[in-house]
Amino acid sequence: MASDLTQGSISSWLYRLTAPMVLGIMAIFFFNLVDTYFIGLLGTEPLAAVSFTFPVTMLIMNLAIGISIATGAVVARALGQKEKAESRAWVSASLYLSTIVSASIALITFLNQDRIFLLLGAPEYMLAMIKSFMNIWLPGCVFLILMIVINASVRASGNTKLPSLLMLGSAVLNGILDPLLIFGLGPFPELGIQGAALATVISWAVAFALVLRYILKHDMVTLALPDAIVEKWQRLIKLALPASLTNMLTPLASGILVAWIAPYGTHAVAAFGVGTRIEPLVILVVLAFTSSLTPFVGQNHGAGEHKRIEQALIKCMQFVFVWQVFIYVLLCMFAYPISEMFSDEVEVQSIIRTFIYIVPMSYFALGFTMVSTATMNALHKTQISLNLNLIRLFVFYLPCAWLGQYLGGLTGLFWGAAVGNLLMGMMMLSLFLRVRASESLQNKLLKV
C-alpha cells in the first residue's frame, strides 16, 4: 500500500525515506569497492583494465537511472493524485520499454568494444583483458536496468526499505562470490576479472527476481500490455531522455578525464579508478536524498503541495553542507589507510591520497547541484536538469580540470575539478535563493 507523502512532518518523511536509501546505496558502492579491492589483488594491470571500463559501465547504469527517474516521477505523481490504476499502467509500460532499451544498448556496446576503449585511451595489449570482463558484464546489465526501474516504482509508493534491503542483499552476495570466482577457491574455477563480472551479474539477477516477485504480489504491475502503451512510451522517453543524458554526462566526463590521465601511465589510471569508486561513497547521503526526493516531490507535486517541496529542498541543502564538510575531514584523517587498502604500489597510493586531499573538499557544492536537479526531475522538468548539468560539466568542471592540468599536471587536474564543482555549487545556491525570493518565478517552475 502506498504511503501518503503529502501529509505529516517534512523532516520526518525525509528521514524515513532517506535512511533506508543510505543503507542501500552504501551497499551498492561497497559492492563496487569490493570488486575493486579483489581485482587490485590481481595487480595493477587488471585494476587499470577494469578502470577503463568504468566510463562505459557507468554510462549504461546511468541510462537505467534516467529511465527510473522518469518512471518514479510519473508513478509518484499518479499516486499523489490517488490514481492507483494509472500508476500500475505506468509501471508496466516502463518495464516493457526498459527491456527493449537494455537489450539494444548491450548489443550495440558489445559490437563496438574495440573502438570505444581505444578512444578512451586503453592500450591495444589491454583490449583482450577489458573485453573478457565486458563480455560477461554486458548481457547481465539487462537484469541491472530492469532492477533499477522496478526499484524506482517501489520507492515512488513511499517504500524505500525494500529496494534498500535488496541492494544490501545483492552486495553481500557479490562480496561472497567475488573471491570464490576471481581466485577459484574450493570447487570454483579461477576466472580472474571475469569472475568479478560473473559475481556481479549473478547478484543482479537474484535481486531482479525478488523485486519482480514483490510487485507482482502487491498488484503494482500487470504483465498485460497497458492501454495506450505507445503514448506512455512517448511520455516516458520525453522525460527519460534528458534524465538519461543528464546521468550519462558524469561518466562521459569521467571518460574524458581518463583519456587525459592515461598519458601519465597505468598507475595514474588505476589510482583515478579507485578515486571514482570512492567518490559515490563520499557523497552517499547526497545520493540518498536524490532518491528520496523523487517520491516526496512527485507525490506533493501531484497533490499541488508546492510549499512542502520548497521546504524539503531547503532542509536537504542545509544538511548536505554540514555533512559533506564532516566527511571531508574524516577522509583526510584516513587517507593513508584508504590508499593502502587498494594498492601495494607506493606510486598508486600517493596519487590516491592526492585525489582524496583535493577533490572531495568540493562535494558539498556538488551536493547542492544534485539535490536541485533531482527536484527538477521529480517535477517533470528533466530538460532544465539536463541544461544545468551541461553547464556544470562543460562550462565549469571539464574546462577547469583542463586548465588545472595545463598549469599543474595531474595534481592541477584534481584542483581544477574541485574548483569547477565549487563554482557550479555557488551558482546553484544563488539561483535557488533568487527563485525562492521571486514568487512568480517559483510558480512558473512548479507549474505543470
Range of the domain at 372: 10-446
pLDDT band at residue 37 using 50, 70 and 90 as cut-offs? confident
Q: Residue 360: in which H helix or E strand, if any? A: none
pLDDT of the residue at 448 = 45
* Residue tagged 525478488 (cell numbers): 210
Question: What does the pLDDT look like over 60-115, one tens digit per residue?
Answer: 887 788 888 888 888 888 887 778 888 888 888 898 998 888 889 889 988 998 88
Q: How far apart are CA 419 and CA 425, in angstroms?
A: 10
Say how far residue 225 (Cα) sits from the centre of its chain: 29
Tell me: pLDDT of 165 over 60: yes
pTM over 0.85: no
Beta-carbon count within 10 A of 133 CB = 24
Question: What does the pLDDT look like over 209-240, one tens digit per residue?
Answer: 998 898 888 888 887 787 788 888 888 888 88
Question: What does the pLDDT look like over 310-321, one tens digit per residue?
Answer: 888 888 888 899
Q: Is 4 contained in some domain?
A: no
Q: How far apart are CA 62 and CA 129, in angstroms?
A: 24
Higher pLDDT, 16 or 447: 16
pLDDT band at residue 378 using 50, 70 and 90 as cut-offs? confident
Closest CA to 158 of 57, 87, 95: 87
Q: How far apart are CA 68 and CA 66, in angstroms?
A: 5
Q: Is 198 contained in some domain?
A: yes
Q: How far apart are CA 317 and CA 108, in angstroms?
A: 39
Helix ranges (H only) for 112-228 are: 113-119, 127-156, 161-183, 193-217
* Residue tagged 510519473 (cell numbers): 74
Q: Is 5 contained in some domain?
A: no
Residues 6+ apart with CB under 8 A from 330: none
Q: Is 242 contained in some domain?
A: yes
Q: Is 129 contained in some domain?
A: yes
What is the count of structural domains for the chain? 1
Q: Is 93 contained in some domain?
A: yes
Q: Is 2 contained in some domain?
A: no
Q: Is 240 contained in some domain?
A: yes
Above pLDDT 70, what percent of the chain? Answer: 95
